[in-house]
Structure 1
Amino acid sequence: MNTIIAFIVIFGALVFFHELGHLVFAKRAGIMCREFAIGFGPKILSFRKNETVYTIRLLPLGGFVRMAGEDPEMIEIKPGQVVGLKFDQDGKVNRIIINNKDQHPDAKSIEVEQSDLEHQMFITGYESMMDEQLERFEISEESYFVMDGEEVQIAPYNRQFASKTLGQRAMAIFAGPLMNFILAFVIFLVIGLAAGYSIDKPIMGELTKDGSAIKSGLQTGDKVQTIDGSAMKSWTDVVKTIQKHPEEELSFKVERDGKTKDISVTPESKKVGNETIGIIGVYQPVEKSVLGAVKNGFVETYTFTKEIITGLGKLITGQFSIKMLSGPVGIYASTDQVAQSGIYYLAKWAALLSINLGIVNLLPLPALDGGRLVFFLVEAVRGKPVDRQKEGLVHFIGFALLMLLMLVVTWNDIQRFFLQ
């Protein structure tokens, strides 16, 4: 149960902050955001605030922000259609009743002749079939369709995604992955402030209860000067020296409370892959400071980003097999393992997943944020946008291929974690 809760919280947080980036920058650009959704499929929970509906959906496979103009409007008015009109205090239409007009007896019923609900914002029509007088009605900037008892806000062109500058549109898309990197940095920062951050100094950190270090008399805070006569300038030097000498007695010269001590330590052996290394049961030293935590947040985010990009490069060049990729099932299984190590490691795992989500979404593949940014780049070069239907087709095909890849990866995860 704890693993399920941890998985839902972590995955939900990553998706939430990713989509929040899209939402915030879209709204800053003046784009109408119709829905902010966590998950796909049927709605489990929903509420409306201002012009946006916030929903949690059944399938935890991601999320989306539905911006006006990105997809064809769901409601369309055609000539000859009979609709009901309601007006605001200025005499402009603020409600267009599409059906169930008998539930709105105060609405003015007209047969539509012409309408423009994007640019000029008007609708013309006849009050009855026998009426020869064509009437024109101005549409309020804040107006709604009413269909099946639900209100859907009409999006004038200046509130639609396509009306914004190239820079505003690109930022609204890029903000999602950007927020994942920011989230990772914040997690590393909080970890650094709460638990401290690792430093590369030749100092003994926390000792395990039954390791060679504590049995030999080493203590937390001991500064290692030499091992078998070789000077130790960093924690990396200490680790490398110990790993090279499993089951071999080593002579440590350490500084403790201003005095020098000689301590003999015999590293235990540990099998790592095909290699046997030495360990003495000691953690890397840590420090606590605000500036250090900030620096560590940037360094950790950069380091993990670099490692993930390197791994993706090896996948592309064939050095890694596609069988090594993990999907939701693999992430869940790994979360279960990490959760057993404690909240500290679970938080670092969440930061790593956040970076991974940001990088994957920036890949120049159709249906991903990176694919959309590629189309913006093409638009910048050629001076005009790519045909929306052609772009939509490319994204649709890309999405279908991504779903196929997801199925393959999920099956690999099931075989790796549950069938072996």
Structure 2
Amino acid sequence: MTLSGLLAFVVVFGTIVLFHELGHFLVARASGVMVREFAIGFGPVVARIQRGLTAYSVRLLPLGGFVRLEGMESSPLEGGDEAGEEPRLAPGDPRRFHNRPLWQRMATIAAGPFMNFALAGILFAMLFVPPVVERVDPGSPAALAGIRPGDRVVRIGELSTPTATRVVRSVLDARPGQTLDVWVQRDGQVHLLPVRMEADRPGGYLGVRMHGPRPLPAALYGGFVEMVDSTGEIIRVVARMLGGREALNVAGPVGIYSMVQEAASRGAYSLVGLAAVLNVNLGLINLLPLPVLDGGWLLFLLLEWIRRRPLEPRLQSAAQVLGLMLLLALMLLATYLDLRRLG
């Protein structure tokens, strides 16, 4: 464990959780629901600020977060109000979650995963910023190193996420006979291709022609397409695992930390790509129909629409306990697989 790896994990995972809960928060407020607490983490409160009727808190276990809405029963992971002095609203008050129209409640719940998918699209769009190789001169240092048309230059020497102009400048600054490390992105993978500069050609010669980053609309469109493709691929992999056609391969906090640390060591480009994939994963996981997840709440609301009345509180509570047990079992399995891989 390194300090830089730990910092990268906190930033990546914290951003994912922040955007997820921000989705719930913004749609709840727009729907007129009173938000009692906006929390990052679970368990005992570490820091807490009260702004009006909403508390903003950081809790001890940084493996998630929640938004506590007025009139919506808390998950066992969240805990109740420590102060115990919150003013209660009347049962018929429109600011209570269950007094809002069904579509507003469903939108509030679905907003969390939606924000993760949206953030994934934005992060994927950022990956279109590096310059793209259009042409490689035959016999050039770039060709001998294995650089191909279509490669995106994501790092050159110590310079990460370079522009086309800065790539040219790095090449011009290279000494004759020097080996210049060039990282390129190809087919979703980052490759290190050491380029040996020509010994008898001062001034630096790489032998490629590049074009700069895509315009913003094209980059955003490409990021959205990449997000959709990534979502579909994850669903297909899960289906193959459930069907026994592929070995079970899930990652828990230990595995995610290892992936983040490895991506951080390869540079900002790899870290952004991993953060995008993790957002897609979290969005999909939260849509699973487990009562402690967003998908479980959506299932409750769907049953309410079908039955024309809410599910009885005791059934909801029992389902939440069962869902929590299943979720903890999945986390323990993922952690076991993480430790076995590391061992």
**TM-score, scaled relative to structure 2:** 0.73
Between the aligned partners of 1:56 and 1:299, the Cα distance in structure 2 is 34
Between the aligned partners of 1:362 and 1:215, the Cα distance in structure 2 is 45
For the pair 1:302 / 2:302, whether they are aligned, the reply is no
Letter in 2 for 1:416: R
Deviation at 1:32, TM superposition (A): 1.4
Between the aligned partners of 1:171 and 1:216, the Cα distance in structure 2 is 52
The number of residue pairs the alignment matches comes to 279
Instruction: Check the 8 A contact 1:204/1:285 in 2, yes or no.
Output: no
Q: Give 2:31's aligned residue.
A: 29
Deviation at 1:365, TM superposition (A): 2.6
Deviation at 1:412, TM superposition (A): 1.4
Instruction: Check the 8 A contact 1:308/1:356 in 2, yes or no.
Output: yes
Letter in 2 for 1:359: L
Q: Which has the higher helix share?
A: 2
Q: 1:293 to 1:148 in 2, by over 3 A?
A: closer
Q: Which has the higher strand share?
A: 1
Deviation at 1:388, TM superposition (A): 2.0
Letter in 2 for 1:153: P
Correspondence for 2:90 among 133, 136, 156: 156
Instruction: Check the 8 A contact 2:145/2:194 in 1, yes or no.
Output: no
**Residues 37-186 of structure 1 correspond to what in structure 2 (within 5 A)?**
37-71=39-73, 151-157=85-91, 158=93, 159-186=95-122
Q: 1:287 to 1:51 in 2, by over 3 A?
A: same
Correspondence for 2:260 among 315, 320, 335: 335
For the pair 1:317 / 2:253, whether they are aligned, the reply is no
Letter in 2 for 1:56: V
1:298-349 CA-partner distances (Å, limit 9, x unpaired): 1111111111111111122122333x11011000011111111100110111
Deviation at 1:3, TM superposition (A): 0.5
Q: 1:338 to 1:213 in 2, by over 3 A?
A: farther
Between the aligned partners of 2:341 and 2:27, the Cα distance in structure 1 is 40
Larger Rg: 1
For the pair 1:20 / 2:35, whether they are aligned, the reply is no
Deviation at 1:155, TM superposition (A): 2.2
Between the aligned partners of 2:18 and 2:273, the Cα distance in structure 1 is 18
Deviation at 1:2, TM superposition (A): 0.5
For the pair 1:373 / 2:298, whether they are aligned, the reply is yes
Between the aligned partners of 2:83 and 2:28, the Cα distance in structure 1 is 28
1:162-221 CA-partner distances (Å, limit 9, x unpaired): 1111101111100000010111112223343x435x6xxx9447x9xxxx962656997x
For the pair 1:214 / 2:150, whether they are aligned, the reply is no
Between the aligned partners of 1:334 and 1:219, the Cα distance in structure 2 is 27
Correspondence for 1:195 among 117, 124, 130: 130
- Structure 1, unaligned runs of 5 or more: 73-146, 224-234, 237-278
Between the aligned partners of 1:218 and 1:415, the Cα distance in structure 2 is 37
Instruction: Check the 8 A contact 1:35/1:66 in 2, yes or no.
Output: yes
Deviation at 1:160, TM superposition (A): 1.3
Residue identity over aligned pairs, in percent, reads: 38
- Structure 2, unaligned runs of 5 or more: 75-80, 152-192, 196-207
Q: Which has the higher contact order (CA 8 A, sep 6+)?
A: 2
Root-mean-square deviation (CA), in Å? 3.0
Instruction: Check the 8 A contact 1:188/1:297 in 2, yes or no.
Output: yes
Deviation at 1:149, TM superposition (A): 7.8
Between the aligned partners of 1:397 and 1:62, the Cα distance in structure 2 is 19
For the pair 1:397 / 2:322, whether they are aligned, the reply is yes
